[in-house]
């Protein structure tokens, strides 16, 4: 049931459970749509440019889907589409989802006693006015030494195989080994709240 009292509708262009959770925590009601894009086909010079380009590709994919869906419901309210992307940067290189367990293991071993960063984008499009704006947020994460048996447990459990850089900081197994987070956890999880809020306000 769409909440008819809200002055605008929100579509979250993501299938990420973490992003869904964060947007719900922010108090928004929203519908979900996922984008079909070839993430590997998009390459940019910097991680910041890359996450913006990926969010734009996701938004465009969803917009083209929406155009093919015949809009029966005559709704006068603006529709806000939120797209986002997050990559991990380690020693200057961009890391996306690990290809397999071996790669995930190498990634996490690298973070042990070291540090990584996440670069996340938020792109907000107002479907009624055509307004579109995207910005990015960067978070630095420092780790204590992560024991091998913890790395093996993480890989066995499997969540790390489905996230950028195999990096999760809010997982109970890894939490004790996170030394410092310079930035916000919601940004690492894929949707920086303050930035999302700011862009929604600008888009309306």
More confident residue, 97 or 75: 97
Task: Classify residue 167: in a domain, yes or no.
Answer: yes
The whole domain housing 68 covers: 9-203
Question: What is the tens place of the pLDDT at every residue in 137-146?
Answer: 999 999 999 9
Question: What is the tens place of the pLDDT at every residue in 172-197?
Answer: 999 999 999 999 999 999 999 999 99
Model confidence band, residue 1 (pLDDT cutoffs 50, 70, 90) = very low
Active site residue 85: yes
Question: What is the tens place of the pLDDT at every residue in 77-115?
Answer: 899 999 999 999 999 999 988 999 999 999 999 999 999
Q: How many domains does the chain have?
A: 1
Task: Classify residue 153: in a domain, yes or no.
Answer: yes
Burial 181-204 (b: 16+ CB within 10 A, else e): bebeebbbbbbbbebbeebbeebe
In this structure, of 26-30, 69-73, 75-79, 145-149, the range with the lowest mean pLDDT score is: 69-73
Task: Classify residue 4: in a domain, yes or no.
Answer: no
Task: Classify residue 1: in a domain, yes or no.
Answer: no
Task: Classify residue 173: in a domain, yes or no.
Answer: yes
pLDDT at position 5 over 70: no
Task: Classify residue 3: in a domain, yes or no.
Answer: no
Q: Which of 36, 38, 75, 85 is catalytic?
A: 85
Helices (H) and strands (E) in the chain, counts: 6, 7
Task: Classify residue 91: in a domain, yes or no.
Answer: yes
In the prediction, which pLDDT does 66 show? 86
pTM over 0.75: yes
In the prediction, which pLDDT does 73 show? 57
Sequence-distant (≥ 6) Cβ neighbours of residue 72 within 8 angstroms: none
CATH number of the domain that 21 lies in?
A: 3.90.950.10
């Amino acid at each position: 049931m769409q909440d008819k009292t809200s002055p605008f509708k929100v579509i979250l262009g993501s299938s990420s459970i973490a992003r869904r959770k964060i947007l719900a925590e922010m108090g928004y009601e929203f519908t979900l749509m996922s984008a079909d894009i070839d993430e590997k086909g998009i390459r940019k010079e910097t991680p910041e440019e890359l996450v913006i380009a990926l969010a734009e590709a996701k938004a465009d994919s969803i917009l083209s889907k929406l155009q093919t869906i015949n809009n029966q419901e005559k709704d006068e309210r603006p529709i806000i589409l939120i797209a986002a992307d997050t990559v991990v940067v380690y020693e200057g290189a961009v890391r996306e989802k690990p290809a397999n367990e071996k790669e995930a293991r190498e990634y996490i071993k690298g973070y042990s006693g070291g540090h990584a960063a996440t670069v996340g984008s938020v792109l907000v499009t107002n479907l009624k006015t055509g307004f579109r704006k995207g910005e990015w947020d960067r978070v630095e994460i420092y780790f204590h030494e992560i024991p091998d048996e913890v790395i093996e447990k993480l890989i066995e459990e499997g969540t790390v195989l489905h996230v950028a850089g195999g990096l999760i900081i809010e997982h109970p197994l890894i939490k004790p080994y996170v030394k410092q987070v310079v930035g916000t956890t919601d940004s690492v999880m894929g949707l920086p709240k303050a930035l999302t809020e700011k862009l929604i306000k600008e888009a309306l």
